[in-house]
Amino acid sequence: MKQALPFLRRRKYEVLLFALVQHLFIGIFLRDLPFYTKYIWVANMLILGVASVGVFVEKGRWKNVVKNLLFVLVTAFPLAVPFVQHVPEFMYALNISYVLFFSFIFWEVLKFLLRPGYINLDIISASACGYFLLIEISVFLMQMLFYQNPDSFKGVSNTGDPASTYIDLVYFCSITLTSIGFGDILPNAHYTKLATAFFGIAGQFYSVVLVGILISKFTSNSTT
């Protein structure tokens, strides 16, 4: 790990971006979803945990302690999924831990985007990371609501396989935040409708603010 730290520090946002994309969309290359639940899920979280190390380098001891504790939780929970996935309280706790984990990383990425007055590869990569982190947060919040009440969505797989539900909600949250909205998956309760509306607005707000930040940084570079 010590040998990898210089690389993770230098390419932290590119590495994090790769980890987020493979976590969200690796299902494109998989046909065996139970295999995903048993093996790929844990491997994905290990990759994300390593990829997030660079973001928290020199961020203070307490931040690294909190991040590491959340990382242990989001890695340990999938190991128990095959045994207790039908316990609503377990799935509720799992999704809360994932929302906290990705929110914690998102906050650090957002602070980085607001700070420097220049544009480079890190800024572009961090911008993309922020968008994918919003998708991650929305997916696990929606999953939490779904496991509380499976009837709160129409069109989401309820086969008992967590991978099917997860992939459906990755799709739903992605098209919601990008304002595509095909309509094949729909919120079916007042709280899921409001949560969907909130994340749709959040996705658009992030895009608008991000464009403003990038333009201001580019303008700052051009005038110096």
pLDDT for position 199 = 94
Element (H, E) at 154: strand 153-154
- Tokens standing for residue 203: 């996705």
pLDDT for position 8 = 66
pLDDT for position 84 = 83
- Listed as ranges, residues in the chain with pLDDT below 50 are none
CB 16 within 8 A of CB 55: yes
Closest C-alpha to 73, from 51, 50, 95: 95
pLDDT for position 5 = 61
